[in-house]
Amino acid sequence: MAEAHQAVAFQFTVTPEGLGFQLSREAVRQLYLATVHSWKKRLVRTKNSFLSGVYPASPSSWVLVLMATAGSCYCRVDPSLGLIARIQHCLPHGEALTPRARSVVGTVVFSTGAWLAAVLLFRRLLRLLLSYHGWMFEPHGHMSRSTRLWIMREMREMGGCRSCGRCRTVEMMREMREVREMQELREMMREMWEMREMMREMRELREMMREMWEMREMMREMRELREMMREMREMGGCGSCGRCRTVEMMREMKEALIKIMSIRKPLLYSFQSSLPKLPVPPVKATVARYLESVRPLLDDDKYLEMAALAKEFQEKTAPRLQRYLRLKSWWTTNYVSDWWEEYIYLRGRSPLMVNSNYYAMDFLYVTPSPIQAARAANSVHAMLLYRRRLDRGEIPPMMALGVVPMCSYQSERMFNTTRIPGKETDTLLHLADSKHLAVYHKGRYYKVWLYYGGQLLPPADLEMQFQRILDDPSPPQPGEERLAALTAGERAPWAEARARFFSRGPNKVALDAIERAAFFLALDEDEHGQQPERPGCMDAYAKSLLHGCCYDRCAPQNLTCTHRHPKNTQTPQKPTQPRPCCTAAATTGSFTLVVYKNGKVGANAEHSWADAPIFMLATDKFQLGYTEGGHCKGDPRWQLAPPQRLQWDIPPEAVAAIEASLRVAQAVAAIEASLRVTWVWAQCRFRFRFRCHAMPCHAVLCPQAVAAIEASLRAVAAIEASLRVAQAVAAIEASLRVARALAEDVDFCCFPFSTFGKGLIKRCRTSPDAFIQIALQLAHFRDKGSFCLTYEASMTRLFREGRTETVRSCTAEATAFVRCMADPHGSRSERQRLFKAAAEKHQQLYRLAMTGAGIDRHLFCLYLMSRYLGTQSPFLAKVLSEPWRLSTSQTPQQQLRMFDLNQFPDHVSSGGGFGPVADDGYGVSYIIAGENLITFHVSSKFSSPETDSQRFGRNIRQAMLDIAGLFDKPPPATGK
């Protein structure tokens, strides 16, 4: 093949005259460009790492400190109080260091030390500021003095309050003291939002003016360079000589220095070392909140029993465990994250499909392009652009309320990450870079290179490559189509099969190509999406993304299998697995990008590497765009080598002879034993010749006997090889049966609720999340006639390396409201009062979870510490064995604000979902998209007679309408 010859830099042949080499200029050129690209990336990473390490300072501030110190010394004013003189005294004496040079070196060393000390001081101060979380607990319409001071200091540290903007902020804070009515408060918040937008525009304008100034300087330098070249030509010089090249290099270096010195905005990891550590809450507070959370779920006898266990644990076992846990929190960045990743995710042995992985959908109402290859190309290119910015750390950190930075640690493994199976525990393999993509289509695997000439392939070239795959008429190799089913079954069998059948030869080469890809792309032959005339279309869309055909979503790479939380069937020796944390409207990292035939896209994501991925599914239209015909912009380069088809060593006869090979396996031992005895007793048949010696006699075989024995041994080797291949195919089929049984048991109900959205909920003066969570409690009570332990995922990314915490939504206040709603004699005013109390309680729990005062992560770590110390705790064992029969998660809309949703209201996301956690429970994901839309994703299992996703979906609709009807702003009757 042509691409095979271009893949190597040289070829050689061995002849009688010696070695003959044939160099490939194109290959050498590609190698050179790849090396240059790699070094450029390293330099950019080094520069950004340095800038992040000294934030909020910058290299320009170091220059200012140096100039101020040098100016003071020139004026004979010593700002160092004698330190510069001491530094000069410590410098070595010699001819190289003159007194003037020693003075300069001492000034530079002192200025650098003073600058670094100021950087450390600022970062320490910033950490103290970020450790304050009182702003989350402020009641509506009021703000304490400490919070006001914190906001002013925080905005000053972040650079968010400048000149007149600072005065306006102080003025608006003064007005907040006079606000008493909710309408005035809402108007003030709107003004603050407009002010923030104005300040953002002013910063953008300032940045634009700076760039224009740089362009002006660049044009001036170009004019000087042009004048210099003209003078050199007049003097007989050459514009392409080395002197001109030196001048050009000096100009480029100057431009690079200007860019480095002009960095102002925070980079992705600028706040990482300034974020506070996750605090270890007191055991007494954790136990008290736990007992409060289970009180509405237990009768008096069971509650007293649990309270007794809790008291015994708190007085006898907990103090020792808490001391060790505090010690762990001192030497680790986050006392939860490492254990959470290992024991909850990587040690899970159950199938990851449905139990752990989650999915994300495309736009609900629009499809940017109906052409499958074009949509795939733009989506892939947009993700790769995001990956490049991510590698360089150029993405601004995510901010809570636009002020408080959140941890960016999880972004590190967003791409080039693979979960490697193991018998007892899996491992995460993260590569620094990956230059190819793994593609699946119609049972065939391809390797697509993403770079050419050291540059990223443009969308037009990617579209051409994907179209070549779609047009490829070749059938799958025997056993190739269902190969990925291995990753959909139990983890231990997949680890064993990987070690036995994919550790050598072409299978290892093909598997490495998949595992080391940037991410995985599946070109699906089905069509999915929102179609109002097709009932159940969104349910089919969700099922397709979650498990597909059980072998086209979970490829052995970084695509689709991790763990969120499998059904709760653990013994007390194994903690309950976590709930799904679907926290992004679109996804990335260890994931599979699915592109359907009609241009719709989606993703199935691996969960162990992060909890809040940010997928780029919705940015291809706004970043790149399409032509009028729906194709990618630009012209493709037809000279590009076509995608490489991955090869597998699974011969056709092995697939057809699985059962026969298994029967033959029982006779292998007998055949081998028979062959070992045959040569002893075959003297007459094969004409043995004997020689007599003083030593014991030995037999010498004639050529016919040797040939017969070798043929028999070759037959045995062929049978053993056939058995190995048959066992590999049998392992694939076994995993496929497990995956199909799991997938066919999933019952989905996905529906958009467009009667009202967060606009009406806010007019009811409550939090949209609290409104929906209370509605879910009402729907569940109507569905099953009882309450259950409810899980809602909350993030702890206000702390360094924070992941998630549990909000136990089934509170005493919520159950009281639900019972009042079920009581036909309950008054409207009483229901309103109970609803507001339940909403306020839920908000309080959510704030506690976000600020590190949750329940479940602390108890989880105490449990693991007890296992390490060999201490038995009936209280912890019982807590961690409780099933979560209602697992919920909210998908935030537009975490990165890639486009203005108000300007494009029809580009709302459908959100994402996950499978049920418990066999007899529900999994509910929802996304609050816009002012008048909430999309729900409900999952359960057909095998449970207690659950029905369609029935629960109807109960959710009715519960939302009933709660809205309690207020004076009922929704219109025309919604769905």
Which DSSP letter does residue 582 get? -
Q: Could you identify the residue written with the tokens 């429970």?
A: 921
| CA–CA distance, 356 with 456 (Å, rounded to integer) | 33
The pLDDT value given to residue 863: 94
Position 711 confidence tier, pLDDT thresholds 50, 70, 90: low
Q: What is the mean pLDDT of residues 279-302?
A: 94
Q: Indicate the average pLDDT of the chain.
A: 75
Check whether 576 has a pLDDT greater than 50. no
Would you state the pLDDT for residue 310?
Answer: 94
Question: Which long-range contacts link 868-875 to residues 24+ away (Cβ below 8 Å)?
Answer: 869/320, 869/321, 869/324, 871/317, 871/320, 871/321, 873/313, 873/317, 874/309, 874/313, 875/306, 875/309, 875/310, 875/312, 875/313, 875/317
* Lowest mean pLDDT across 42-56, 246-260, 546-560: 246-260
DSSP 109-126: HHHHHHHHHHHHHHHHHH
Higher pLDDT, 273 or 280: 280
Contact criterion met (CB below 8 Å) for 84 and 107: yes
Query: What does the radius of gyration of the chain's CA atoms come to, in whole angstroms?
Result: 34
The tokens describing 156, both together, are 């000053």
Pick from 152-161, 791-800, 964-973: least confident: 152-161
pLDDT of residue 654: 39
- Helices 163-176 & 182-234 angle (0-180, nearest 10): 170
- pLDDT band per the 50, 70, 90 thresholds, residue 662: very low
Q: Is the pLDDT of residue 149 over 80?
A: no
The whole-angstrom separation of Cα 964 and Cα 966 is 5
pLDDT digits (tens, 9 = 90+) for 477-522: 877 887 877 787 788 888 888 888 888 888 889 999 999 999 999 9
191/197 Cα distance (integer angstroms): 10
Per-residue pLDDT for 9 more than 50?
Answer: no
Residues 470 and 521 sit within 8 Å (Cβ to Cβ)? no
Task: Compute the distance between CA of residue 425 and CA of residue 109 in angstroms, rounded to an integer.
Answer: 50
Tell me how long the chain is. 976
- Structure tokens, 939: 């999952």
Lowest mean pLDDT among 57-66, 578-587, 859-868: 578-587
Which of the listed ranges 415-419, 722-726, 830-834 does the model predict with the highest average pLDDT?
Answer: 830-834
Q: Rounded to whole angstroms, how far apart are CA atoms 635 and 643?
A: 18
Higher pLDDT, 417 or 200: 417
Of 613 and 28, the one with more pLDDT: 28
CATH architecture of 360-560+584-629+641-653: 2-Layer Sandwich (3.30)
Mean pLDDT, residues 452-474: 92
Q: What pLDDT, on a 0 to 100 scale, did the predictor assign at position 817?
A: 95
pLDDT band at residue 291 under the 50/70/90 scheme: very high
818/892: higher pLDDT? 818
pLDDT for position 563: 34
Least confident of 118-132, 243-257, 327-341, 605-619: 243-257
**Could you give the CA distance from residue 383 to residue 519 in angstroms, rounded to a whole number?**
10
Task: State the average pLDDT over residues 263-277.
Answer: 80
Q: What is the per-residue pLDDT for 914?
A: 87
Phi, psi for 695 (deg, rounded to 5): -75, 165
Cα distance between residue 730 and residue 658, in whole Å: 7
Q: What pLDDT does residue 471 have?
A: 94
Tell me what the mean pLDDT of segment 837-853 comes to.
92
Least confident segment among 114-118, 538-542, 649-653, 839-843: 649-653
Q: What is the pLDDT of residues 294-350, one digit of tens each?
A: 999 999 999 999 999 999 999 999 999 999 999 999 988 899 998 998 888 888 888
Catalytic pick among 381, 436, 607, 858:
607
Q: Is 607 a catalytic residue?
A: yes
Across the range 48-61, mean pLDDT stands at: 74
Would you say residue 665 has pLDDT above 60? no
The model's pLDDT over 347-362, given as tens digits with 9 standing for 90+, comes to 888 887 777 788 888 8
Q: Look-up: residue for tokens 């003073």?
A: 114
Both tokens of 788, joined, read 């259950």
**Mean pLDDT within 274-297:** 93
- The mean pLDDT value for 184-211 works out to 65
Greatest distance between any 2 Cα atoms in the chain: 120
**Which is higher by pLDDT, 886 or 546?**
886
Paired sense of beta strands 455-456 and 698-700, if any? unpaired
* Of 190 and 794, more confident: 794
Comparison of pLDDT for 194 and 962, the residue scoring more: 962
CA distance 410 to 392: 15
Where are the extended beta strands (E) located within 278-435? 358-361, 399-400, 404-405, 417-420, 427-430
- Per domain, the residue ranges of the chain are 360-560+584-629+641-653
Report the pLDDT averaged over residues 563-574.
37
- What is the pLDDT at residue 188? 60
pLDDT value at residue 618: 52
- Which of 527 and 260 is assigned the larger pLDDT? 527
Give first-to-last CA distance, the chain, whole Å: 57
pTM of the predicted model, to two decimals?
0.74
pLDDT band at 225 (very low <50, low <70, confident <90, very high): low
